[in-house]
Protein backbone atom coordinates (compact mmCIF):
# COMPACT_ATOMS: atom_id res chain seq x y z
CA UNK A 1 0.00 0.00 0.00
CA UNK A 2 2.91 2.36 0.61
CA UNK A 3 3.47 2.83 -3.10
CA UNK A 4 -0.08 3.96 -3.76
CA UNK A 5 -0.41 7.43 -5.35
CA UNK A 6 -1.39 10.25 -3.00
CA UNK A 7 -4.62 12.22 -3.47
CA UNK A 8 -5.66 15.37 -1.61
CA UNK A 9 -9.43 15.94 -1.64
CA UNK A 10 -10.87 19.17 -0.21
CA UNK A 11 -14.38 19.27 1.19
CA UNK A 12 -13.99 15.58 2.02
CA UNK A 13 -16.41 15.32 4.94
CA UNK A 14 -19.63 15.32 2.93
CA UNK A 15 -21.30 15.57 -0.46
CA UNK A 16 -19.24 15.21 -3.61
CA UNK A 17 -15.93 15.47 -1.75
CA UNK A 18 -16.78 12.52 0.50
CA UNK A 19 -17.92 10.50 -2.51
CA UNK A 20 -14.70 11.29 -4.39
CA UNK A 21 -12.65 10.16 -1.40
CA UNK A 22 -14.56 6.87 -1.30
CA UNK A 23 -14.09 6.39 -5.06
CA UNK A 24 -10.33 6.92 -4.86
CA UNK A 25 -9.75 5.01 -1.61
CA UNK A 26 -9.25 1.57 -3.21
CA UNK A 27 -6.28 2.81 -5.24
CA UNK A 28 -4.93 5.91 -3.46
CA UNK A 29 -3.57 7.16 -0.18
CA UNK A 30 -5.80 10.02 0.89
CA UNK A 31 -5.42 13.40 2.53
CA UNK A 32 -8.95 14.35 3.53
CA UNK A 33 -9.28 18.13 3.58
CA UNK A 34 -11.72 20.13 5.66
CA UNK A 35 -12.16 22.28 8.76
CA UNK A 36 -13.95 19.83 11.09
CA UNK A 37 -11.20 17.72 12.68
CA UNK A 38 -13.60 15.27 14.34
CA UNK A 39 -15.54 14.68 11.14
CA UNK A 40 -12.33 14.19 9.18
CA UNK A 41 -10.96 11.69 11.71
CA UNK A 42 -14.20 9.73 11.49
CA UNK A 43 -14.08 9.75 7.71
CA UNK A 44 -10.41 8.70 7.68
CA UNK A 45 -11.23 5.59 9.71
CA UNK A 46 -13.40 4.36 6.84
CA UNK A 47 -10.47 3.96 4.45
CA UNK A 48 -7.29 1.84 4.54
CA UNK A 49 -4.82 4.67 3.98
CA UNK A 50 -6.30 8.04 4.82
CA UNK A 51 -5.52 10.84 7.20
CA UNK A 52 -7.18 14.13 8.08
CA UNK A 53 -5.84 17.30 6.52
CA UNK A 54 -7.38 19.97 8.72
CA UNK A 55 -7.16 23.53 7.45
CA UNK A 56 -9.32 26.57 6.77
CA UNK A 57 -8.68 27.13 3.08
CA UNK A 58 -9.20 30.88 3.28
CA UNK A 59 -6.58 31.26 6.03
CA UNK A 60 -3.50 31.89 3.91
CA UNK A 61 -0.97 31.32 6.70
CA UNK A 62 -2.60 28.08 7.85
CA UNK A 63 -2.82 26.87 4.27
CA UNK A 64 0.85 27.56 3.65
CA UNK A 65 1.79 25.66 6.80
CA UNK A 66 -0.48 22.71 5.96
CA UNK A 67 1.15 22.22 2.55
CA UNK A 68 4.79 22.33 3.62
CA UNK A 69 5.04 18.57 4.16
CA UNK A 70 3.57 17.62 0.77
CA UNK A 71 6.61 16.77 -1.33
CA UNK A 72 4.92 14.84 -4.13
CA UNK A 73 1.22 14.84 -4.97
CA UNK A 74 -0.46 12.67 -7.59
CA UNK A 75 -4.01 14.03 -7.42
CA UNK A 76 -5.58 17.25 -6.14
CA UNK A 77 -9.38 17.41 -6.15
CA UNK A 78 -10.93 20.81 -5.44
CA UNK A 79 -14.37 19.96 -4.04
CA UNK A 80 -14.79 22.46 -1.21
CA UNK A 81 -16.91 25.45 -2.09
CA UNK A 82 -19.53 28.00 -1.11
CA UNK A 83 -22.86 28.83 -2.70
CA UNK A 84 -24.24 32.18 -1.60
CA UNK A 85 -26.99 33.12 -4.03
CA UNK A 86 -28.78 36.35 -4.74
CA UNK A 87 -29.86 38.74 -7.45
CA UNK A 88 -27.39 41.22 -8.86
CA UNK A 89 -29.51 44.06 -7.49
CA UNK A 90 -29.63 42.68 -3.94
CA UNK A 91 -26.22 41.03 -3.47
CA UNK A 92 -23.88 43.19 -1.43
CA UNK A 93 -20.09 43.05 -1.66
CA UNK A 94 -19.86 40.54 1.21
CA UNK A 95 -21.83 37.97 -0.79
CA UNK A 96 -19.54 38.31 -3.80
CA UNK A 97 -16.43 38.15 -1.61
CA UNK A 98 -17.65 35.03 0.21
CA UNK A 99 -18.11 33.10 -3.03
CA UNK A 100 -14.94 34.37 -4.66
CA UNK A 101 -12.74 33.87 -1.61
CA UNK A 102 -13.48 30.17 -1.19
CA UNK A 103 -14.40 29.14 -4.74
CA UNK A 104 -11.50 30.74 -6.59
CA UNK A 105 -8.96 32.60 -4.40
CA UNK A 106 -8.44 29.64 -2.03
CA UNK A 107 -8.41 27.23 -4.99
CA UNK A 108 -5.73 29.24 -6.77
CA UNK A 109 -3.59 29.58 -3.66
CA UNK A 110 -3.77 25.90 -2.71
CA UNK A 111 -2.88 24.92 -6.26
CA UNK A 112 0.04 27.35 -6.30
CA UNK A 113 1.40 25.98 -3.04
CA UNK A 114 1.31 22.33 -4.12
CA UNK A 115 2.23 22.88 -7.76
CA UNK A 116 5.86 21.81 -7.23
CA UNK A 117 4.57 18.57 -5.68
CA UNK A 118 2.19 18.04 -8.61
CA UNK A 119 4.98 18.65 -11.10
CA UNK A 120 7.20 16.20 -9.23
CA UNK A 121 4.57 13.46 -9.60
CA UNK A 122 3.29 14.56 -13.02
CA UNK A 123 0.02 14.74 -11.19
CA UNK A 124 -3.59 15.58 -11.91
CA UNK A 125 -5.75 18.51 -10.75
CA UNK A 126 -9.53 18.08 -10.77
CA UNK A 127 -11.90 21.00 -10.32
CA UNK A 128 -15.48 20.28 -9.25
CA UNK A 129 -17.16 23.18 -11.01
CA UNK A 130 -20.90 23.54 -11.69
CA UNK A 131 -23.36 23.98 -14.51
CA UNK A 132 -23.32 27.60 -13.35
CA UNK A 133 -19.73 27.75 -14.54
CA UNK A 134 -21.05 27.32 -18.08
CA UNK A 135 -24.25 29.36 -18.06
CA UNK A 136 -25.39 31.77 -15.36
CA UNK A 137 -29.03 31.91 -14.30
CA UNK A 138 -30.99 34.75 -12.77
CA UNK A 139 -30.51 34.85 -9.02
CA UNK A 140 -27.20 32.96 -9.18
CA UNK A 141 -24.84 35.79 -10.20
CA UNK A 142 -22.36 35.82 -7.27
CA UNK A 143 -21.95 32.04 -7.30
CA UNK A 144 -21.88 31.74 -11.10
CA UNK A 145 -19.24 34.46 -11.36
CA UNK A 146 -16.97 32.52 -9.02
CA UNK A 147 -17.46 29.33 -11.03
CA UNK A 148 -16.76 31.10 -14.33
CA UNK A 149 -13.53 32.26 -12.67
CA UNK A 150 -12.70 28.65 -11.75
CA UNK A 151 -13.29 27.66 -15.37
CA UNK A 152 -10.86 30.33 -16.59
CA UNK A 153 -8.31 29.40 -13.94
CA UNK A 154 -8.45 25.71 -14.88
CA UNK A 155 -8.02 26.54 -18.56
CA UNK A 156 -4.98 28.72 -17.83
CA UNK A 157 -3.49 26.09 -15.53
CA UNK A 158 -3.95 23.41 -18.18
CA UNK A 159 -2.29 25.53 -20.86
CA UNK A 160 0.68 26.28 -18.60
CA UNK A 161 1.19 22.93 -16.91
CA UNK A 162 0.21 20.27 -19.45
CA UNK A 163 3.63 20.62 -21.13
CA UNK A 164 5.16 19.77 -17.72
CA UNK A 165 3.07 16.59 -17.51
CA UNK A 166 0.32 17.86 -15.18
CA UNK A 167 -3.20 16.99 -16.28
CA UNK A 168 -6.13 19.30 -15.47
CA UNK A 169 -9.78 18.23 -15.54
CA UNK A 170 -12.88 20.32 -14.92
CA UNK A 171 -16.07 18.49 -13.96
CA UNK A 172 -19.35 20.34 -14.47
CA UNK A 173 -22.06 18.53 -12.48
CA UNK A 174 -25.69 19.48 -12.72
CA UNK A 175 -27.73 19.68 -9.56
CA UNK A 176 -26.49 17.06 -7.12
CA UNK A 177 -28.09 15.62 -3.98
CA UNK A 178 -25.98 17.32 -1.29
CA UNK A 179 -26.48 19.46 1.79
CA UNK A 180 -25.51 22.47 -0.31
CA UNK A 181 -28.27 21.63 -2.76
CA UNK A 182 -30.78 21.47 0.07
CA UNK A 183 -29.76 24.98 1.11
CA UNK A 184 -30.09 26.20 -2.47
CA UNK A 185 -33.58 24.76 -2.87
CA UNK A 186 -34.62 26.27 0.46
CA UNK A 187 -33.31 29.65 -0.76
CA UNK A 188 -35.38 29.24 -3.91
CA UNK A 189 -38.47 28.35 -1.88
CA UNK A 190 -38.86 24.96 -3.56
CA UNK A 191 -39.53 21.46 -2.30
CA UNK A 192 -36.51 19.20 -2.05
CA UNK A 193 -36.82 15.95 -3.98
CA UNK A 194 -33.55 13.96 -3.90
CA UNK A 195 -34.59 11.73 -6.81
CA UNK A 196 -34.46 14.72 -9.17
CA UNK A 197 -30.75 15.20 -8.69
CA UNK A 198 -27.48 13.47 -9.44
CA UNK A 199 -26.02 11.26 -6.76
CA UNK A 200 -22.61 12.39 -5.45
CA UNK A 201 -21.33 8.92 -6.30
CA UNK A 202 -22.10 9.53 -9.98
CA UNK A 203 -19.97 12.67 -9.98
CA UNK A 204 -17.22 10.83 -8.12
CA UNK A 205 -17.24 8.10 -10.76
CA UNK A 206 -16.45 10.73 -13.39
CA UNK A 207 -13.58 12.03 -11.28
CA UNK A 208 -12.18 8.54 -10.88
CA UNK A 209 -12.47 7.93 -14.64
CA UNK A 210 -10.48 11.08 -15.34
CA UNK A 211 -7.83 10.31 -12.74
CA UNK A 212 -7.36 6.69 -13.80
CA UNK A 213 -7.35 7.34 -17.56
CA UNK A 214 -4.31 5.91 -19.30
CA UNK A 215 -1.15 7.98 -19.84
CA UNK A 216 -2.21 8.62 -23.43
CA UNK A 217 -5.51 10.22 -22.38
CA UNK A 218 -6.40 13.61 -20.90
CA UNK A 219 -10.06 14.15 -19.98
CA UNK A 220 -10.05 17.93 -19.96
CA UNK A 221 -13.76 18.59 -19.33
CA UNK A 222 -16.67 16.43 -18.20
CA UNK A 223 -20.28 17.61 -18.08
CA UNK A 224 -22.81 15.53 -16.12
CA UNK A 225 -26.54 16.11 -15.93
CA UNK A 226 -29.32 14.27 -14.08
CA UNK A 227 -31.43 12.04 -16.28
CA UNK A 228 -34.98 13.48 -16.38
CA UNK A 229 -36.74 10.11 -16.19
CA UNK A 230 -35.49 7.33 -13.94
* pLDDT, tens digit, 9 for 90 and up, residues 78-100: 999 988 899 999 999 999 999 99
Q: Which of 31, 35, 208, 14 is nearest to 126 (CA)?
A: 208
The predicted-structure confidence for 131-179, as pLDDT tens digits, reads as follows 989 999 999 999 999 999 999 999 999 999 999 999 999 999 988 776 6
Is residue 2 predicted with pLDDT exceeding 60? no
Instruction: Check residue 176 and give its pLDDT.
Output: 72
Q: Render 92-146 in DSSP notation, one character per residue.
A: -HHHHHHHHIIIIIHHHHHHHHHHHHHHHHT-EEEEE--GGGTS--TT-HHHHHH
Can you give the residue ranges of every domain in the chain?
A: 6-221
Return d(Cα 225, Cα 93) in angstroms, integer: 31
Is this structure's pTM higher than 0.95?
no
CATH no. for 6-221: 3.40.50.720
pLDDT of residue 188: 72
Task: Name the band, by pLDDT with cuts 50, 70 and 90, for residue 74.
Answer: very high
Residue 15 pLDDT > 70: yes
Amino acid sequence: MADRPLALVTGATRGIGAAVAAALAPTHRLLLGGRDADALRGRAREFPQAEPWVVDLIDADALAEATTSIGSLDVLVHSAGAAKLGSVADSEAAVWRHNLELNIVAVAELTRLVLPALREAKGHVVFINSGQGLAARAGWGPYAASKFAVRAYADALRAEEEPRGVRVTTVYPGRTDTDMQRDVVAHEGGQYTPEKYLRPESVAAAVRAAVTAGPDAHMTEVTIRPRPHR
